[in-house]
Structures are given as C-alpha cells and as structure tokens.
C-alpha cells in the first residue's frame, strides 16, 4: 500500500511532459512536477521522485529511484516494468485501462470488413479502372474469436456481437460471463477455438505466457479462409512463422497494428504482402488521448494524496 502523505513529486518522462505538467499544476498546485522527457533529465531527478509517469518504464534507471513508490503508465501494457518487478514489490503500478477499448473495437471491425471484402483488391482494381463484380458472405454469418477478454477484448466481443456475428473467446476464468460471447474456451484450448473462427483477434497482454503464443502450429489450426488480427503486442506472434503462413496461403490474411520490432523494418515482407494490412501501432490512440488519460491520472493523484488505493492497479506478476 502507498502511505498517506501530503507530499508528492512526479517525474514526467514522456513526450507530452510539458502538457502534463501544466494540467497537474492547474489542478494540484501542491504537487511538484519535474519535466524529464529524455533520459539525461530523468537521471538528474529520479532519486528524488515519488512517482514516474511514462509510456515505457525506465528500467535501466530503476536502481537510482530510491524514493519511487508509484509508476503510472500512459498506456495499457506494462511489460516495460517486468525486468525490475522482482525488486520492486514496493512500487504500485497503474495503467490507462479504459481508454482504448472503443477505438480498438472500431479498428477491429473496420479491419475485419476490409479483409473480408478484400478492399486492397478493390483499390488496386480502381487504380486500374477494372470493373470486377463479386459476391460476399455477410459478416453476420461468420465467427469472430477473441483471445484475451480483458477490458479491450470484451469491448471487441460486444461490438462483433452487435454486428450479428457469432463470438467465441479465450480467457483464464471460463466461469465468468462476458457480454456478447457465445462460447468461452480456457487458455489451453486454442486448438479448439482456432478452427471454428473466420477471424482471430489477439487481445492478450504481453506476459511470459503470451510471448510466442501464435506460431506455425496455431496458424495451421486456423481455417485457410480465416484472418488474423493483432492489436496486442508484436511478441505474441512468431513473426517469421506468420509470414510463412501468409506467403503460403495457410491463412487468408492479416491485419497487424503491432510488431516484434517497431517501427516495422523496411525490409519486412509484411509491407508488401497483398493479403496484409499494416498500421503503425495506432489502433488505441484517440485524438483526445491526453485528456482521457489525465482524467484517470488526476483521480489517482487525488487518491495518492488521500492515502487511498489507486485506480487501475496492475498485478505485475500476472502482467495485467
């Protein structure tokens, strides 16, 4: 637990550090903020801060953070904290859970439609002024599977169900009812889930259990007509094995917002494969992200100052 104290010093290790400092100063004049968007400035102040706000936790500087008690991530994933978690039981980790779900659901449903209708082909044919008519099966007659039914995955499931789709999903606790999910599978039942899906959406957090979750074996269990959508982390997929499956038509295609290396290297075949849509890790970033995030962060500052439990606490042992 974080001790009740009227004092709070926060290092803002973020590209928008100046904006966050302004917002905090307006609402919490008693809180000290240190603008530290780069490593040099962070290292100069880290020994005196109680909290760090950042998208990626500065693990390399952790041993210098003598007073640190709270890390507030500006994103949903906190895998950047994992390298120090064995030494950081005294640090409370919170994330931005709740911001991303609706926008990512927009992305998934739009992407599923584009893949299913093969809009890349339509655009190529438009550029070539070709009039090629074809019929398409309605999405409402198809099955979408969500692997990882946390806040984001559950939102995707509800949206797919509202489109009339059959929705299946995978999560640890299969006894928990998730709105819009017709059938639940346990985390060790991907061999049963994958073959029944027309679309497979990866929405799991990045943990030791999910690194390399989808490889050649799992891809071989998908239908040749099925599509893979990844809005989780690039490390969830064995990328070389996915490329092989896409090139050899073992699956129909993929929508990928995250990758093993980001930015995606120019030499990656994923850029030019005709059955792939690549986006730059943008699916969960609404235009008013700073405001949405600050609403969560401000509530947590209030709770910290009052000695109350923080919102969106992450169990770093589980990774979410």
Enzyme catalytic residues = 233, 262, 281
Long-range contacts of 117-120 (CB under 8 A, 24+ apart): 120/274, 120/275, 120/277
Length of the chain: 320
Contact status, residue 70 vs residue 92, Cβ threshold 8 Å: yes
Beta strand segments in the chain, E: 9-13, 32-35, 51-54, 70-73, 92-94, 143-147, 166-170, 183-185, 199-202, 227-230, 253-256, 276-278
Q: How far is CA 70 from each of CA 8, 38, 230, rounded to the nearest angstrom?
A: 10, 19, 30
What gap in Å lies between CA 216 and CA 42, rounded to an integer? Answer: 42
Beta-carbon contacts of 269 under 8 Å, excluding residues fewer than 6 positions away, are 243, 247
Q: Which of 215, 221, 218, 227 is nearest to 260 (CA)?
A: 215
H or E element: which one contains 199? Answer: strand 199-202
**Maximum distance among all Cα pairs of the chain, rounded to whole angstroms:** 69
DSSP-derived 3-state class of residue 33: strand
Contact status, residue 90 vs residue 107, Cβ threshold 8 Å: no
Q: Which of 143, 287, 298 is nearest to 226 (CA)?
A: 143
What gap in Å lies between CA 58 and CA 47, rounded to an integer? Answer: 13
Contact status, residue 203 vs residue 223, Cβ threshold 8 Å: no
Beta-carbon contacts of 38 under 8 Å, excluding residues fewer than 6 positions away, are none
């Amino acid at each position: 637990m974080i001790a009740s104290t009227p004092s709070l010093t926060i290092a803002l290790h973020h590209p928008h550090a100046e904006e966050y400092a302004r917002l905090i100063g307006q609402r919490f004049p008693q809180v000290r903020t240190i603008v530290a968007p780069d490593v040099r400035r962070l290292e100069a102040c880290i020994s005196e801060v109680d909290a760090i706000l950042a998208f990626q936790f500065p693990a390399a500087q952790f041993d210098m953070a003598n007073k640190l008690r709270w890390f507030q991530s500006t994103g949903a994933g906190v895998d950047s904290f994992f390298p120090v978690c064995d030494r950081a039981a005294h640090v409370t980790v919170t994330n931005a859970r709740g911001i991303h779900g609706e926008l990512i659901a927009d992305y998934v449903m739009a992407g599923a439609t584009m893949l299913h209708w093969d809009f890349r082909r339509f655009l190529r044919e438009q550029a070539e002024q070709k009039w090629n008519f074809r019929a398409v099966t309605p999405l409402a007659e198809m099955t979408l599977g969500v692997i990882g039914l946390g806040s984001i995955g559950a939102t995707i499931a509800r949206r797919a169900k509202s489109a009339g789709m059959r929705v299946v999903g995978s999560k640890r606790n299969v006894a928990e009812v998730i709105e819009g999910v017709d059938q639940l599978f346990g985390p060790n039942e991907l061999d049963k889930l994958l073959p029944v899906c027309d679309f497979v959406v990866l929405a799991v957090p990045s943990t030791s259990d999910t690194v390399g979750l989808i490889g050649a074996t799992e891809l071989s269990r998908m239908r040749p007509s099925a599509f893979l959508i990844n809005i989780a982390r690039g490390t969830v997929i064995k990328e070389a094995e996915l490329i092989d499956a896409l090139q050899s038509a073992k699956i129909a295609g993929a929508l990928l917002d995250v990758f093993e290396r980001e930015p995606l290297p120019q030499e990656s075949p994923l850029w030019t494969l005709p059955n792939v849509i690549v986006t730059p890790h943008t699916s969960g970033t609404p235009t008013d992200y700073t405001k949405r995030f600050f609403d969560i962060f401000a509530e947590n500052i209030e709770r910290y100052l009052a000695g109350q439990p923080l919102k969106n606490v992450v169990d770093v042992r589980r990774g979410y």
